[in-house]
Structure 1
Amino acid sequence: MTPRRIVILGGGSTGWMAAAAFTTGMPGAQVELVESEELGIIGVGEATFPSIRAFNRLLGIDEAEMLAATQGSFKLGIQFVDWRVKGEHYFHTFGDFGPLDGPMALWGQYHRVQARLGGQLGDHCLPTVMAREGRFRLPDTEGDAITARFDCAYHFDAVLYAGFLRRLAERRGARRIEGKVVDVARHPDGRVAYLKLADGREVAGDFFVDCSGFASVLLGKTLGVPFVDFSHWLPVDRAWAVPAERPEGTLTPYTRSTAQEAGWTWRIPLRERCGHGHVFASKFIDEDRAREQLLAQVDGKALAEPRLLRFTTGHRAQLWSHNVVGLGLAAGFLEPLESTAIFLVHNALGRLIPLLLQPGGATPDAAAAFSDQQVRQYRRIRDFIILHYCLTERRDSELWRYMAALELPESLAYKIHTWRETGVLVGYDDEGFDRTSWLAIFAGMGHWPKRASPWMQEVPEAMALQYLRQRREALASITAGMPDHDTFLRHAVARAAG
């Protein structure tokens, strides 16, 4: 039976994303969200993935209004600094590198003539050039191929985004219940019956969504779903986070990740401030030194004392057990190197709601299939994150030596081997990142196939050079006509203000 009473445990961006999605996609359902101000929220995830724009559109959210309410800015990708070797950087942007296969595969012709052409593969990708120049415009779906084939995401204050979604969800009928859960009652068949609050109230439901963060109160503690640990492959287990004043100058439309001796630091620019953090492995550096390295990277005055978070990378073995689905940190955690936390939430909601709306409700087989899909996606994203570490040439600290000697998951090892030996970019089901993203990391880290495909030789070298130079010139011309990111945002926010 399709559930009529949906109870969400936990607020923050995850809980209120769920509430907004259920009140929009299942308007006849009673949606209640239980959260406690006493427990607070983590609220450090401020960078997103392009599909957040589609999620917001499905909710009927006006983009400019959301940006105005969340101190948001646009994100064209991530700049990776010092990841291959110290002193080098590259971009992973949400753009198009032209054909990926065949004689005119842009990457293949670029690699073939790189010594004569110079530059980086990213010079032939529009959002990379835009990011480098601090320019911005939205994708033009009705324009030419170059200006249509890219996407963007957001930087925003996650606490403000949660508040924005809360207002939307409550307007659509969601009810917030303030209270701390002290017990969980179950039916004889194992399903959750109700949540008991500290003041004695009971919150019953047909279906429960666990958004309780790392505590995983329902999925982990109550139902005993085990945790699958990824820390062998992703050993980072701590993060310092601190807000800082926004420095003078252009508001950069990208996140920055700078490799450190035992992890990496992030820089996320918002309109009024910057978010900074340091993700690190505590077995390779002590917390105080990691804190010092973070503060050394901050390019504005810190607005608070750094806050320390502790975590283990991995996921619950099942994401849907009985009548409980886990979302966000209650389901799993992958280090935020590629800003996938919010993506995993709205992607799960996009799969979950249609299953609940099936005639008669979701079957046990559907629940099992949902769990399998979500678990595969965690593994695919895990592999993509490991890729950034295992292609490095750095051996200057314990972490980088550990990652260089790591035995890779078979799924990742096969992808790397196939690319290296044949120049084929392998794609699996339930990928978080498409083949273009994999190419961006391979190219950025200087990891190319051993030999050129015979197909590439069908194109005269002079023609390949002309093709690449013309594309580079076209991108420079297009970018020069764009406003800078600051100007574009000011106009967008002004429109929202009316």
Structure 2
Amino acid sequence: MSQKYERIVVVGGGSAGWMTAAALVTGLKGRATVEVVESEEIGIIGVGEATFPSIRNYNQLIGIDEAEFLRATTGSYKLGIHFCDWLEVGRDYFHTFGHFGNLYGSQTLWAQHRRLGLTEPLGLQCVPTVMAMKGRFVLPSEQQEFKYAYHFDAVQYAAFLRKLALQRGARHTLGRIVDVSRHADGNVAALQLDDGRRIEGDLFVDCSGFRSLLLGGTLAEPFVDFSHWLPVDGAWACPTERAGEELTPYTRATALEGGWAWRIPLQNRTGHGHVFSSRFIDVDRARDQLLAQLDGKPVAEPRLLRFKTGHRRRFWVDNVIAIGLSSGFLEPLESTSIYLVQDAIARLMVLLTAGRPLHENDRALFNEGAVRRFSRIRDFIILHYCLTRRRDSELWRHVSSMALPETLNFRMELWRRYGVLHEYDEEGFDATSWLAVHAGMDHWPEREDPVFAEVPPELAASALRDRRAAIAASVERMPPHHRLLQQVLGR
């Protein structure tokens, strides 16, 4: 049966809800009404948010000025993630949004680096990695191309998007949902609010967070559990005053006894948190370990969040589509929460702007793609854990010996045996990102392609040396991150 949606109801605000609403009112251009229903009684999970470069595409598509966005969200720039103590205590590496030279062909940079037995980090051959290490930042240009993302306050971002969406025609209804009525065919007909109002719609977008009010609650869609691979199930979050003038252009993820701690620098404060597994560490001990990581005075008491990694079996059922935490959750190790929201919105917008009624196979293709995206990102996050050499706590012994998903096993085998960075469809991270983790975790192929030896060692060494020197000299001329940010903000 085909369907056309002229009344779209978004259930829940927050980043997911208002990102969805802003995209819908902008892209549909009045072809459907968009109404956001949210309750003031339900809190928003407001922590310092680190993002993926694709957030820039979203902002540009809906017409957000970068400087205005950064001012409204107390945001800063992000070049990647600094991983500390993941391979071993005292070892670190960067996963940045740059590249390491050509990944294919006889001049493959990483292969020559490995072949020569260089002990220096491969990241010295990557412009944004060196920028991050030096605390420098410039906006990309034709001469210096690279990707970047942001750190920002998620609550402020939601408020910023709410204002934009309302200006463009979205409706905003405050009220607590007490009942959901359905048609005889199972589709949701309307939401009943506690004050007696009834909100009808043709399509309902569930952005109700972990509660998953419609998809998980009303429709009882089963949950696909990833916790046997990703056992973290809680997080302590605590903001602190900003320490010092320097503003690092990267997120930091430090491996701890039972999980890992994040550090996200904003203009006016620093977001800190500890993602942990209650199977391997006591909740109170996890809190103490977070407090030991703080590098500034706390501005609020630590807050405990609970979650389960995985996703709903289907993301779109009947006339309900879940976006954000209501559809599933992957731990924020690689800052993919906002990316997954954006990915779902993009899939939805393609269908809604196709100019035709939607059919059941459209929903099926949406679901298949979304499931694969979650699985691909799941595998990438597991990669960070399974390559560890740490055996100093129960968590690290567990993740170093656990059975892996077959999709991850296969691509790791290809890399280990032949140096092939295999890519599937619906990838969240490209081959460069996989290489950054393999290199950072000192995980290299067992054999080299013989064609690499066609490049004389002295020529390869000279090329690597010259590239490293050129990058270092270029970065040295760049301004510190905080100064560049002040210029962009007009201060």
Match of 1:266, SS state, is strand
Preserved CA contact (<8 Å) 1:2 1:357: no
Runs (4+) of structure 1 moved beyond 2 Å? 357-361
Q: Distance in 2 between matches of 1:185 and 1:27?
A: 29
Match of 1:279, SS state, is strand
1:92 CA displacement? 0.2
Cα deviation, 1:71-125, whole Å, max 9, x if unaligned, reads 000000000000000001000000011111111000000111133xx41100000
The 5 Å alignment of 1:1-150 reads 1-28=3-30, 29-44=32-47, 46-115=49-118, 118-140=119-141, 142-143=142-143, 147-148=144-145, 150=146
1:370 CA displacement? 0.4
Preserved CA contact (<8 Å) 1:2 1:358: no
Cα deviation, 1:344-384, whole Å, max 9, x if unaligned, reads 01111111112122233221101110011000000000000
Q: Does 1:406 pair with 2:391?
A: no
The 5 Å alignment of 1:130-279 reads 130-140=131-141, 142-143=142-143, 147-148=144-145, 150-279=146-275
1:250 CA displacement? 1.3
Amino acid of the structure 2 residue aligned with 1:343: Y
Match of 1:360, SS state, is coil
Amino acid of the structure 2 residue aligned with 1:477: A
The 5 Å alignment of 1:340-419 reads 340-419=336-415
Q: Distance in 2 between matches of 1:427 and 1:101?
A: 13
1:456 CA displacement? 0.7
Q: Distance in 2 between matches of 1:299 and 1:271?
A: 15
1:44 CA displacement? 1.9
1:404 CA displacement? 1.2
Q: Distance in 1 between matches of 2:183 and 2:466?
A: 67
| TM-score, with length taken from structure 1 | 0.97
1:184 CA displacement? 0.4
Cα deviation, 1:295-336, whole Å, max 9, x if unaligned, reads 000000011100000110000000000011101100000000
Cα deviation, 1:434-474, whole Å, max 9, x if unaligned, reads 00000000000000001111011000000000110111011
1:2 CA displacement? 3.2
1:420 CA displacement? 0.4
1:45 CA displacement? 5.2
Percentage of identical aligned residues: 60
Preserved CA contact (<8 Å) 2:26 2:62: yes
Preserved CA contact (<8 Å) 2:97 2:148: yes
- For the aligned residues, what is the CA RMSD? 0.9
1:126 CA displacement? 0.3
Match of 1:291, SS state, is helix
Specify the alignment match of 1:489 in structure 2.
485
Match of 2:296, SS state, is coil
Q: Which runs of 5+ in 2 are unaligned?
A: none
Preserved CA contact (<8 Å) 2:48 2:271: no
Q: Distance in 1 between matches of 2:34 and 2:199?
A: 11
Specify the alignment match of 2:307 in structure 1.
311
Amino acid of the structure 2 residue aligned with 1:156: F
Preserved CA contact (<8 Å) 1:2 1:359: no
Match of 2:300, SS state, is coil
User: Match for 1:337 among 325, 333, 336?
Assistant: 333
Amino acid of the structure 2 residue aligned with 1:446: D
User: Match for 1:451 among 431, 447, 451?
Assistant: 447
- Which stretch shifts more, 240-249 or 439-448? 240-249
User: Match for 1:283 among 264, 271, 279?
Assistant: 279
Match of 1:394, SS state, is coil
Q: Distance in 2 between matches of 1:114 and 1:472?
A: 16
Preserved CA contact (<8 Å) 1:333 1:341: yes
Q: Which runs of 5+ in 1 are unaligned?
A: none
Match of 2:485, SS state, is helix
Match of 2:186, SS state, is coil
Amino acid of the structure 2 residue aligned with 1:125: C
Q: Distance in 1 between matches of 2:121 and 2:299?
A: 37
- Which stretch shifts more, 436-445 or 21-30? 21-30
Amino acid of the structure 1 residue aligned with 2:93: Y
Match of 2:261, SS state, is strand
- Size of the aligned set, in residue pairs, is 488
Match of 2:253, SS state, is strand
Q: Distance in 2 between matches of 1:311 and 1:132?
A: 33
Specify the alignment match of 2:289 in structure 1.
293
Preserved CA contact (<8 Å) 1:265 1:277: yes
